[in-house]
Structure 1
Amino acid sequence: MSRGFVKEDDQEEVPFVAPRADLPEGVINYVTQAGMDALLAENDQLIAERDSLDITDEKEKRIATNHINARLQLLNNRILSAKVVDLSKQPQDEVRFGALVSLKIGNEKKLQQYQIVGVDEADISKGKISFISPIARLLTDKKVGETAVLQLTKEDRTFKVMDIVYPT
């Protein structure tokens, strides 16, 4: 049937689903085991949320279900593409994926700690940066005592590696 013969209020709204964290085309979706566990827990939570929807209006329930299903599809694509990195097999004396790095940034006295993680795990407020971020790329392969320089428009920022630990 032509869309011209359908009442406008019969057309369902397509739910907007915000995209997941950016993972450039062709880049392997590396995750830590903790990151994979979080993705699987998020999957379980979304399924439980969908299964327990308590909406009596059929249209609203269908829209809510479609929204959750769309989020699940994006999430499941990430889970299927995820490659868990065994942190115990990383070179313990170099900054690589999964490393918890203590850094002296510029002239600051206090050390900063960042863990290099997958794109879905990254959360700067928790000290977790994505492995594709400029700082992570800059620090990769560095050893304790080595310095990396990030060139900014107004100044250069130096990062001196003070310690490298791979959480278990």
Structure 2
Amino acid sequence: MKKSNYITRAGWDRLDKELKYLWRVERPQVTRTVSEAAAQGDRSENAEYQYGKKRLREIDRRVRFLMKRTEDLNIVYPDPQQEGRVFFGAWVTLINEEDIEVVYRLVGPDEWDVKRGEISIDSPMARALLGKTVDDEVVVKTPEGERIFDIIAIRYKAIAK
């Protein structure tokens, strides 16, 4: 399945920060470490050299991915006309069958983080929520079976902590 090319401003900023850190800070540090380890002689038994080369490959792979991916992404800003309906970037408060309240934010596939309550716009839950309004019932197919949620609130601005 193809990933959506949408991202929130905060998500794009996190990816950009990671890219800059890898390229400007971590890669030069690792390159220096590898050079110093290489100067010590036999590279075949030099763990610091071997690990450094491996880490450089990982950094380069991630940098290439981030550079290509950030070129393809579209930053989406919530539109005031979206108020009252669930679209990209919305925080949605739901109640499940056990009367447990959960809050999810619909974000791009490159930025979701369950710990922050963010789910990918491409996920089954997000797909079921799109276009819905407060008091709508949502049925989501999960590996454990169908789950039912009621939408109790939709907002597009973060709550100050």
Equivalent residue for 1:92? 83
SS of the aligned residue for 1:143 comes to: coil
Note the aligned Cα RMSD (angstroms): 1.9
Matched, 1:119 2:119: no
The structure-2 alpha-carbon separation of the partners of 1:154 and 1:64, relative to structure 1 and needing over 3 Å to count, comes to closer
SS of the aligned residue for 1:119 comes to: coil
Query: Structure 2 matches for 1:53-64, cutoff 5 A?
Result: 53=30, 54-55=33-34, 56-58=36-38, 60=49, 61-64=52-55
Alpha-carbon separation, structure 2, partners of 1:102 and 1:64 = 41
Contact 1:99–1:166, Cα closer than 8 Å, also in 2 = yes
Matched, 1:42 2:24: no
The structure-2 alpha-carbon separation of the partners of 1:63 and 1:111, relative to structure 1 and needing over 3 Å to count, comes to closer
Alpha-carbon separation, structure 2, partners of 1:153 and 1:62 = 41
More helix by share: 2
User: 2:120 is aligned with what amino acid?
Assistant: S
Query: Structure 2 matches for 1:1-168, cutoff 5 A?
Result: 24-25=1-2, 27-47=3-23, 48-53=25-30, 54-55=33-34, 56-58=36-38, 60=49, 61-89=52-80, 91-108=82-99, 110-152=100-142, 155-167=145-157
In the TM superposition, residue 144 of structure 1 has moved relative to its aligned partner by: 0.4
The structure 1 segments of at least 4 consecutive aligned residues displaced by more than 4 Å after TM superposition are: 152-155
Deviations 1:19-64 (A, max 9, x none): xxxxx33x43100000000010110111110012223234634443
Equivalent residue for 2:46? none
In the TM superposition, residue 141 of structure 1 has moved relative to its aligned partner by: 0.4
TM-score (norm 2): 0.80
Unaligned 5+ segments in structure 1 are: 1-23
Select between 57-66 and 84-93 the one with higher mean Cα deviation: 57-66
The share of aligned pairs that are identical, in percent, is 31
Unaligned 5+ segments in structure 2 are: 44-48
The structure-2 alpha-carbon separation of the partners of 1:114 and 1:152, relative to structure 1 and needing over 3 Å to count, comes to closer
Contact 1:90–1:96, Cα closer than 8 Å, also in 2 = no
Contact 1:28–1:83, Cα closer than 8 Å, also in 2 = no
Contact 1:94–1:142, Cα closer than 8 Å, also in 2 = yes
TM-score (norm 1): 0.77
Contact 1:143–1:161, Cα closer than 8 Å, also in 2 = yes
